[in-house]
Amino acid sequence: MKRLILALTALLAVLPGLRAASFDSTISAVTVYTDRAVVTRTATSPLTAGINELVFTNLPAGLLDQSLQVSATGSTAATILDVSAKQLFQAATPDPRAKGLESQIEQLQQKDRTLVDRSNVLRGQSDLITRLQASAVALGTGEKSERPNLDEVKNVLTYGQDQLLEIAASIQDIEQKRTELSEQINALQNQLGSLRNPGNKSVKTVVVRVQAADAGTLTLALNYTVGGASWTPGYDARVLTGDKALQLGYFGNVRQNTGEDWNNVALTLSTAQPSLGGSAPDLGVWNLDVWQQPVRPAPMVSAMEASSDKDYGYLKANAAARTRIGMEIQSGVAQATVDTAATSATFKIAVPTSIPSDNSVQKVPVTTIDLKAAMTYATTPKLREAAFLSAKVFNNSDYPLLRGAMNVFLDGTFVATSRLDTTMPGEKFDLALGADEGISVKHQRIKKFAEETGVFSKDNRITYEYLITIQNNKRTTERVIVTDQVPISRNEKIVVKVSAPAEKEMKPNAEGKLKWTLDLKPGEKRELTVKFTVDYPTDIKVDGLE
């Protein structure tokens, strides 16, 4: 026994002390991907010589344990021994934002009570005025000695009527304000209800064990991956037609519902897709065989019904094999929907950013790019008397432009919503910039004349003539592409002859389309004539004529 006590004493002498400490940590940086986020929490804690357990508490329950990474710097030599995560269930605690919502609701309810009091006072005044009017009328019909003259009665009634109208308008205004307050209160109560999650709340605790040679301080950075976060690219295209320039505002639409707010963090947006894995998928064997009639599966046999333990094991093995095959097939279908054309880039946001955990979209600026644009107008006057501006743009920046929604502003005015396809640095892309009233377009039918032709056999002939007018009202020379058409005959009995424009100037294509490219100087107007005839026998009816 004495030797055992001495051995334990010696063992305790060589073992270092164990210190466990919980400390406050803050989110310092976040990298957001298209389907997840990597969060960095930092904290500083004192160390004692020996083993220290540093505990990160109240972390999101959805963090991936296998994603935990820790780095450290400190005033003393220290070694990170291990990192572990544990899931805890606790009574639901009120969200810190709930208190602010409750305060807002109380303030709005107080305003509503004030409006109710004001409405009650006005209704009392209305009742009093009505009684006074009734009394005036009664006096006017009483004994002559007590009766006021007619003018006095009229004055009382007129004054009372004016007052009643003012009171009624005030009551209507109050009811309108109460309706608006009610909508605001309901909206805040819905937000408050979403924060008050009944039942148990699941959180995770991460324990970092550190071996320190001496006492000192240590700063830890804990990285972990959580779902419930994403971002998509978006753009604001601001076009200055006079300068032939395009300013492209690039931003990210970030949303997250991870369970913790990101306040003033260093935000990074990444286009990488971790879910795709690190390498290309491996092709299996593509087998061809003679088709055979499938055999009806045997009925399920329980362990008690199996003739032997060996047969039961065979059935279990086959069932497991069928399960694995089914899972592999389902996995292959899911992979077929993955977009593998996306490029990988990382955007570090220049200023600290706050993203609340409420799944609301936060517009985060990435950069602004100045691009040169070759602009052209296109118009189809027969369908719409408007000229639509488009631009061919060269991406001369270092930023890959990913597919996303785009708001278009033309000379400071919002004109359209469009989309931008993925464009790498050095590539060209087209932008549809919407209609521009600076180019005037008119399409008129000048003539439609029907007549009979032929001496022995009568035919019908219809002559059509259209006038297209294009005028450049801008201060710069503009290129306008005008498209129109003539009909195409699908039957040899129907003959279409085009007289304008002349064949030497322009010939319709196989689809009957005519296309002019006009370079119009400031203030210049051009008129284009389209004229053709349609001949057909009188005994047929032509489909498609206007």
Whether residues 250 and 375 fall in one domain: yes
**Total number of domains in the chain:** 4
- 391, HSE (Cβ side, Cα atoms, 13 Å): 28
Q: How confident is the model at residue 125 (pLDDT cuts 50, 70, 90)?
A: confident
Query: Is residue 424 over pLDDT 70?
Result: yes
Query: Is residue 454 over pLDDT 50?
Result: yes
Query: Is residue 311 over pLDDT 70?
Result: no
Residue 333 lies in a domain: no
Residue with tokens 């993203």: 355
The domain boundary residue, chosen from 385, 401, 435: 435
**What confidence score (pLDDT) does residue 340 get?**
34
Average pLDDT, the chain: 79
Range of 428's domain? 232-270+346-435
Helices (H), 396-468: none
Q: How confident is the model at residue 393 (pLDDT cuts 50, 70, 90)?
A: confident
Q: For residue 144, what are its two tokens?
A: 């002559």
Whether residues 364 and 506 fall in one domain: no
Longest dimension (CA), the chain: 140
Query: Is residue 389 over pLDDT 90?
Result: no
| pLDDT tens-digit readout, 329-373 | 233 322 222 233 344 678 888 889 999 988 889 999 988 888 888
Residue 543 lies in a domain: no
Whether residues 444 and 502 fall in one domain: yes
Cβ(459)–Cβ(410) below 8 Å: no
CA gap 32, 252 in Å, rounded? 10
Q: For residue 35, what are its two tokens?
A: 């389907």
Higher-pLDDT residue of 68, 431: 68
Q: Is the peptide bond before 352 cis (omega within 30 degrees of 0)?
A: no
Residue 420 lies in a domain: yes
Whether residues 422 and 517 fall in one domain: no
DSSP one-letter string for 455-496: SSS-EEEEEEEEEEEEEE-SSS-EEEEEEEE----SSTT-EE
Whether residues 65 and 180 fall in one domain: no
Cβ(235)–Cβ(407) below 8 Å: yes
In the chain, % helix, strand, coil (3-state, to 5) comes to 25, 40, 35
DSSP one-letter string for 331-363: HHHHHTT--TTPPP-EEE-SS-EEE-SS---EE
**What confidence score (pLDDT) does residue 96 get?**
64
Cβ(536)–Cβ(542) below 8 Å: yes
Query: Is residue 483 over pLDDT 50?
Result: yes
Whether residues 183 and 105 fall in one domain: yes
Q: How confident is the model at residue 323 (pLDDT cuts 50, 70, 90)?
A: very low
| pLDDT tens-digit readout, 230-266 | 999 999 988 887 777 788 899 999 999 888 899 999 9
Query: Is residue 443 over pLDDT 50?
Result: yes
From residue 183, how far is each of 101, 116, 153 by CA, in Å? 14, 16, 45
Residue 172 lies in a domain: yes
Q: How confident is the model at residue 183 (pLDDT cuts 50, 70, 90)?
A: confident
CA gap 169, 167 in Å, rounded? 5
Cβ(449)–Cβ(533) below 8 Å: no
Higher-pLDDT residue of 393, 147: 393
Whether residues 417 and 491 fall in one domain: no
Query: Is residue 306 over pLDDT 80?
Result: no
Residue 507 lies in a domain: yes
Whether residues 504 and 370 fall in one domain: no
Q: Per-residue b/e over 335-352, b at no fewer than 16 CB within 10 Å?
A: eeeeeeebeebebebeee
Share of the chain above pLDDT 90, in %: 24
Of 142-146, 260-264, 266-270, 428-432, the least confident: 142-146
The domain boundary residue, chosen from 177, 195, 213: 195
Higher-pLDDT residue of 267, 199: 267
Tell the burial category of 233 from Cβ atoms under 10 Å away from its Cβ (0-12, 13-18, 19+). buried
CATH number of the domain enclosing 107: 1.10.287
Q: Per-residue b/e over 400-422, b at no fewer than 16 CB within 10 Å?
A: bbbebebebbbeeeebbebebeb
φ and ψ at 35, to 5 degrees? -140, 10
Q: How confident is the model at residue 138 (pLDDT cuts 50, 70, 90)?
A: low
CA gap 131, 139 in Å, rounded? 12
The domain boundary residue, chosen from 390, 415, 435: 435
Q: How confident is the model at residue 465 (pLDDT cuts 50, 70, 90)?
A: very high
**What confidence score (pLDDT) does residue 160 get?**
73
Residue 489 lies in a domain: yes
Residue 239 lies in a domain: yes
Higher-pLDDT residue of 2, 419: 419
Highest mean pLDDT among 1-15, 76-90, 360-374, 406-420: 360-374
Whether residues 431 and 443 fall in one domain: no
Cβ(85)–Cβ(51) below 8 Å: no
HEC string of 261-307? CEEEEEEEEECCCHHHCCCCCCCCCCCCCCCCCCCCCCCCCCCCCCC
Supply angle C-alpha 355, 357, 363, rounded to 5. Answer: 35
Does this model's pTM top 0.85? My answer is: no
**37-47 and 26-32 beta bridge pairing:** antiparallel
CA torsion, ordered 418, 422, 427, 429, to nearest 10 deg: -20
DSSP 517: E
Whether residues 250 and 207 fall in one domain: no
Residue 334 lies in a domain: no
| pLDDT tens-digit readout, 19-49 | 566 678 899 999 999 889 999 999 888 888 8
Name the strand (E) or helix (H) holding 232.
strand 229-240
Higher-pLDDT residue of 483, 154: 483
Whether residues 108 and 51 fall in one domain: no
Residue range 167-180: average pLDDT? 88
Supply angle C-alpha 59, 276, 33, rounded to 5. Answer: 45
**What confidence score (pLDDT) does residue 316 get?**
38
From residue 86, how far is each of 200, 364, 395 by CA, in Å? 16, 34, 49
Whether residues 121 and 237 fall in one domain: no
Residue range 296-312: average pLDDT? 47
The 3-state DSSP class for residue 239 equals strand
